[in-house]
Chain A
Amino acid sequence: MQAEETSPQVRRPRAHAARMTHKVSGRLALRQVMPLACLSALLTCLASLLWGAGDVGPWQALQVLAGQGSDQARFVVLELRAPRTLIGMVVGMMLACGGALMQVVARNPLAEPGLLGVSAGASFAVAVALLLGMEATGMHVMVAQSGALLGCLFVMSTVRMSGARQDPVRLVLAGAALSSLLVALTSLALLIDQRAADEIRFWVIGSLAGRSLEALYSSLPSILLAVLLTLWLARPLSAMVLGEQVASGLGHHPKRVRKVAILVVALLVGAATALAGPVAFVGLAVPYVARALCGADVRRTLWLCLPLGVTMLLSADVVSRLVVPPSELPLGVLTTLMGAPVLIAVVRARRLPTL
C-alpha cells in the first residue's frame, strides 16, 4: 500500500525526499505521469481523427483540421470521425473509472465490470426492453443502467458471501458464470423476437461505429451525476482501502460509501454499454496500469484512469478500423486481445495483491 499522499504544501520543501521515496518504491508521482498520459491520449485522439476506413487519408484530414479541404473530407472528418472519437473518449473514461471503483469496493484487483457480468446485465436489460416492445432510441441508457445495477448488486452480494471472500479469484469465476448466463439469455431473447434481433444485433458485439451524438447527450445527466458522486466518494474510498474499521474511525460510513460506489459503477458501466455495447477488459487493464505507474491510492488511480482509458479505447478503435479496411472489427475483440494478457499477468503474480 502506498502511503497517503501528502498535501502539496507539505511536500514542496521536501520534494527531493519525496522523489527519492517514489523511486525506491518504483512508483512515480502523479505529476510526472499525468502529462505523458495526457499526451498519449491526445495522440490517439488525433490518430482517431486522421485514420479511417474511407478514402480520406491522414493528410487530407490534417488539412480539414487546419480549416481547409474538400467538402467530402470535411464531412468525413467532422461529421463521422469527430463524434466517434468523442464517444470513444467518454466510453473509455467511464469504463476505466468504473473498473477502478469496482476494484476498490470489491477489494479485488480482478473485479472488472465486463468480466463480472455487469455489462452483460446491461445488454440483457436492453434486449428484454426491446422484447417488451420499447423503442431502441432514447430508452437505452436508463434501461442499460438498471440492468448494470442488477448485475453489480448480484456480484457484490457474492463478494459478501463467505466463498468469494477468501479467494479473490473466485469472484471472477462467479462473474464468468453470471455473464455466460446473461449472454445466453440475451441470445435466447433475440431468437424469440426477430425485430429486436435486427435492432440490437449490431449493438451486442461492442463497437463505436454508427453511434450518434444524441445517445451521448441523453446519457450526459447520468454521467454528470456519476462524476459528482465520484468526487464525493474519492476520499472515503481511499480510506476504505485501509480497512473498514479504519475508515469508520476516520469518520466515514463504509456501508453507505459502498452502496454509492456500486451505484456509480452501474451508472458509468450502464451508460458506456448503452453507448458502445459490451466492451470487456478496459476496466481491468487500465486501472492495473494506473496502479503500476503511481500506486494504489484510488484518487490518483482515478485521475490517471481518465487519459489512459481514452488511450486504450481509442487505440483499439483505430486498429479495429484499419485491420480489415472496408469492414470493421468488433471493438470488444481488440480490447480483449489487449486486456486478457493483463488478467493472466495478475493471476500469475505470486502474491495476489489485495486492495
Chain B
Amino acid sequence: MSRPSPLDPLRSAPTGTLWWRHGKLSLLLLRAPLLAAGILLLALLMASVASLMLGSAGLGPWDAFKAAFGHGEFATVFVVQELRLPRLLAGIATGAAFSLAGCLMQTLAGNRLATPGIIGIDNGATAFAVASVVGMGISLAPPVMALSGAVIATALAFGLSGGIGTRGYRFLVAGIGVGALFGAGTQLMLARVSIDAANSAYPWTVGSLNARDADSLTWLGLALLIGVPIALWLGRGLNTLRFTDRVATGLGQPVSRVRLITLWLSVVLTAAAVAVAGPVGMVALVGPEIARYLSRHKGVPLLASALAGALVMVLADLAGRTLLSPQEIPVGIVMAVVGSPYLLWILLRSPR
C-alpha cells in the first residue's frame, strides 16, 4: 500500500462534506444541507401521516397508512384515498413549488423579502386564473392563463423598475403596486359575473386547497418534475449570483443566462401553484427561511426550501381543517396570519 499523497482527493475533501467517488466519477456533497433535507423529509412524512389521520373522521396512524394503499374498510379507504390523499398531494406540490420559486426569486433579487407574492406575481396569476374560470371570453386552462398572468405581472414589476437584477426595496414597492392593480382587476371580474361563477372562483382569491382541479394538479406535477432538476442544476450558478457580476463571470458563470432561467423557473412554478391553490404567497417567504435556518450554510438551499415549503403548506392546511372543525379556514388565511408577523419581524429587525 502506498502512502496517500497530500493531493489525494480522498484526503483533501473539506470538512463538513461527504465525498463519493467511483472510478472517474465523483460527487462532493455538503453535509449540513443533506442533514437539513433529511430532517425536513422526516417532518414532512410525519405531517403527511397526521394529515391523513386527522379530520372529521379520526383514524389511527396505521389504519390511515394502510388505507392510503387501499387496505381496510371501504369507507376508510374512500375517505383517505379520495378525499385526504389528493388534498395532501396538492398541498405538498403547491408548497414545494411556492417555496422553491420564492427561494429562486430571493436569490435573484439578492433580497430575502423579494418573494413572488410580494412583487405581485401571485396576484397576476390569480387575476388571469379567475378570468378563465368566470369565462371572460377567453377559454384556456387555468394553468395556462395563470402563467400568462404571472408573466405579465413579472414583466411589469421588473420592467417598471428597470430590468432583472438587484433593485433593492424600490423594486418591491413597484411590485406591490402591480399586485394591487391585478388584485383590483380580480375583484372587478368577480363583481361582474353571476354569483355562481364568483363562488367557483372564490378559492383563487384567498388561497385554498379545497377546490383544486385534477388537470391543474397534473400541470403542477409536470412543472415540478422539470423545474426541480433544473433548479438543482442551477444551484452552483445561483451561489455565484451573490457576488458582483464581474466576479461571477470570472468564476465561469454565464450570469445573465442564469438570471433569465431563474426568473422563468420562479414564474412558471408560481403560476402552476397558483392555478392549483390560489395565492398562498407567504409560503414562499417562510419556507426558504426555515430551510436557511436548518442548513446553516451560505449557499442556496433549494432542495431544503422545497421540502420546507411542502411541510409548511401541509401543516397550515391541517390547522385550517381542524382548528374550527366544522368550519374550514382557507390555507391562505392561515398562512397570512402566521407569515405576516414574521415578515414584519424581518423588516423591523434587520437594519440592512
Contact = CB atoms under 8 A, between A and B. Distances in A.
Partners in one complex: yes
Main SS class of interface, B: helix
A329 B191 contact: yes
B181 A336 contact: yes
A343 B179 CA distance: 11
Contact of A333 (B188, B340, B352): B188
A253 B86 CA distance: 63
Interface stretch (A47-55, A60-68, A127-135, A160-168): A160-168
B173 interface: yes
Given A177-B344, A324-B192, A187 B333 contact: yes
A280 B344 contact: no
B350 to A, nearest CB: 7
Contacts of A110: 173
Range for the number of chain A residues in contact with chain B:
35 or more
A196 interface: no
A227 interface: no
Interface in A29-73: none
Given A170-B347, A183-B336, A184-B337, A352 B169 contact: no
Contacts of A220: none
Nearest to A352: B170
Contacts of A170: 169, 347
Contacts of A118: none
A184 B174 CA distance: 23
A344 B352 CA distance: 23
Interface residues of B, number: 40
Interface string A151-187: 0000000100111101101101110111011011101
B184 interface: yes
A33 to B, nearest CB: 26
A332 B190 CA distance: 14
A340 B191 contact: no
A329 B337 contact: no
A136 interface: no
Contacts of A181: 336-337, 340-341, 344
A170 B118 CA distance: 13
Given A167-B168, A173-B173, A344 B336 contact: no
B343 A177 contact: yes
Contact of B184 (A324, A337, A343): A337
Contacts of A137: none
A350 to B, nearest CB: 10
Given A162-B351, A174-B344, A330 B181 contact: no
A177 B206 CA distance: 16
B337 A185 contact: yes
B336 A336 contact: no
A169 B167 CA distance: 12
Nearest to B345: A177
Nearest to A158: B348
Contact of A348 (B174, B183, B336, B341): B174
Contacts of B169: 167, 169-170, 173
Nearest to A163: B351
Interface string B147-168: 0000000000000110000001
A188 B333 contact: yes
Nearest to A336: B184
B351 A333 contact: no
Which of B118, B177, B341 counts the most chain A CB atoms within 10 A? B177
A254 B337 CA distance: 35
B351 A180 contact: no
A6 interface: no
A343 B344 contact: no
Given A332-B184, A347-B177, 14 more contacts: A110-B173, A115-B176, A163-B348, A167-B169, A173-B169, A176-B118, A176-B176, A178-B344, A185-B337, A188-B329, A323-B192, A336-B184, A337-B184, A343-B177
Interface of A: 110, 115, 158, 161-164, 166-167, 169-170, 172-174, 176-178, 180-181, 183-185, 187-188, 191-192, 205, 280-281, 323-324, 327-330, 332-334, 336-337, 340-341, 343-344, 347-348, 352
20 contacts: A163-B348, A163-B349, A166-B351, A169-B169, A169-B172, A170-B169, A173-B113, A173-B169, A180-B336, A180-B340, A184-B332, A184-B340, A191-B324, A205-B187, A324-B191, A334-B184, A336-B180, A341-B177, A344-B174, A347-B177
